[in-house]
Amino acid sequence: MTSVKLLYVETFGCQMNVSDSEKIVALLGKVGYHPTQDSSRADLIILNTCSVRDKPEQKVYSTLGKFKRLKNSNRRLLLAVGGCVAQQEGERLLKKVPYLDIVFGTHNLHLLPEMVRQAEDGKRLAEVGFIDGEARLDLFPVEDSTGGVSRFVTIMQGCDNFCSYCIVPYVRGREISRRSAEIVQEIGDLAAKGVKEVTLLGQNVNSYGLKSAGEPDFAGLLRQVAEIPGIERIRFTTSHPKDISPPLIACFAELEKLCGHAHLPAQSGSDAVLAKMNRGYSRKDYLNKVAALKAIRPGIQITGDMIVGFPGESEADFRDTLSLMEEVGFADLFSFKYSVRPGTGAAGYPDDVDGGVKQERLNRLQELQLKMTLETNKGFVGTVQEVLVEGVNRRGDQLFGRTCGNRAVNFAGDPALTGSSTKVMITRAFRNSLFGEVCESGGGIDVS
């Protein structure tokens, strides 16, 4: 009798990796691997890695070191590395990590079942070839549609922008958009399984379709998705400020299902730094787009990403970042210290902002953002928000959901409310979440 084989997947980095990990589990499920949360019981361990910054990359190597012990005590255990570090390192990773069995790149998920089969026979393998053009489109595996309330749906992958600090175009390859008919079909299938909210996912979703003859642009795709019965909310991430087009802005006025939230990574508030980053917009362009979004959808929540300590960033440049943050009034912000990524354009500049200065700027930025996030959240106290209930929270004592503007809300209620849009009166505000009570009386909803 063959026993069940267990698969443990550890995911680093972004939502794209989370989605890829779901696909990996689905693919390997077909060849007899069942997912486990317990790495010590696994027959196959896969690290789905991220190399966007130095820190997540180093984490991969320390995690690999941790699993070496398991490998020593279980000779049959297979260890695989996928994702961006795998793409970057390729065969080299097999040499660097002698106890590693499989390296698979960001375009090679579909090869995994066969690679695992060969590794079970004692082979060590690396596959990191990029696949471009039509052939690539046929490889976008359909999501494992297990239902739920809110799901991510990949609409494009890769990036052609070459921001000077960024490794993504090198490890994810050129931009490619999925066929709109397949996206609409997939979302229709999800809706039939009870999914109420979809987040359209890609490295740069708002350049969707621009390279594909006969396909709609991103605004056109949003309009198609908005027609799908059963889908109540549409979100997207992540978008590039330069590609926030007038037709896309118009969608925020015309499509009720499109949530009032835009994640718009600014990266810096200084024109000199933005130009050196090759971002393709100025501070003024960015602010104009935010103003247009706010005008057309009052109450829209703007979030973003910011980098401090980019080569050449002066104190005055950094202050421009702080003032941009205040002008926008970000509801939330992911912020990072610049780290050199090998092979990128910015790797040619001296990494000349002292480590201590980077840290000090990050602290100041995060302090300001914390104040603004708390202010944003406090502004919701006393309002009624429509919350799409995603389920019971991690502690198991309250329901959890999100407002249209993507603020997390916890409240007491019947778990049967899961999947429904419920009116919640916000009573308390915290740093990362809101707390409220179900509104029994019905009544109006405040703009979120």
Find the binder of ligand SF4 among 97, 159, 308, 384 (CB under 6 A): 159
Minimum CB distance to ligand 5AD smaller for 80 or for 307: 307
Q: Report how far residue 157's alpha carbon sits from residue 16's, in angstroms, rounded to the nearest whole number.
A: 9
In this structure, are residues 328 and 287 in contact, taking their beta carbons and an 8 Å threshold? yes
For position 178 contacting ligand SF4 by CB under 6 A, the verdict is no
Give the strand pairing for 102-104 and 197-201.
Answer: unpaired
For position 338 contacting ligand 5AD by CB under 6 A, the verdict is yes
The residue number with the shortest CB distance to ligand 5AD is 305
Find the binder of ligand SF4 among 80, 102, 163, 200 (CB under 6 A): 163
Minimum CB distance to ligand SF4 smaller for 266 or for 290: 266
For position 47 contacting ligand SF4 by CB under 6 A, the verdict is no
Shortest Cβ distance from residue 431 to ligand 5AD (Å)? 21
- Pick the piece of the chain touching ligand 5AD (CB under 6 A) from 78-86, 228-236, 321-329, 336-344: 336-344
Among ligand 5AD, ligand SF4, none, the one that 338 touches (CB under a kind-dependent 5 to 8 A) is ligand 5AD
Mention every residue, 6+ apart, whose C-beta is less than 8 A from residue 61: none
Tokens linked to 179: 């066929």
> Taken in order 147, 148, 154, 155, is the CA torsion positive or negative?
positive
Minimum CB distance to ligand 5AD smaller for 166 or for 353: 166
Shortest Cβ distance from residue 40 to ligand SF4 (Å)? 35
Count residues binding ligand SF4 (CB under 6 A): 10
Shortest Cβ distance from residue 147 to ligand SF4 (Å)? 30
Q: Report how far residue 365's alpha carbon sits from residue 320's, in angstroms, rounded to the nearest whole number.
A: 11
The CA-based diameter of the chain, rounded to the nearest angstrom, is 69
Give the strand pairing for 156-157 and 197-201.
Answer: unpaired
Give the strand pairing for 150-154 and 5-11.
Answer: unpaired
Q: What are the φ and ψ backbone dihedral angles of 259, each rounded to 5 degrees? A: -70, 150
What residues from 262 to 281 belong to the interface with ligand 5AD (CB under 6 A)?
265, 267
Find the binder of ligand 5AD among 8, 12, 165, 435 (CB under 6 A): 165
Amino acid at 381: V
Q: Report how far residue 115's alpha carbon sits from residue 138's, in angstroms, rounded to the nearest whole number.
A: 19
- Where on the chain is the footprint of ligand 5AD (CB under 6 A)? 52-53, 165-166, 265, 267, 305, 307, 336, 338-339, 341
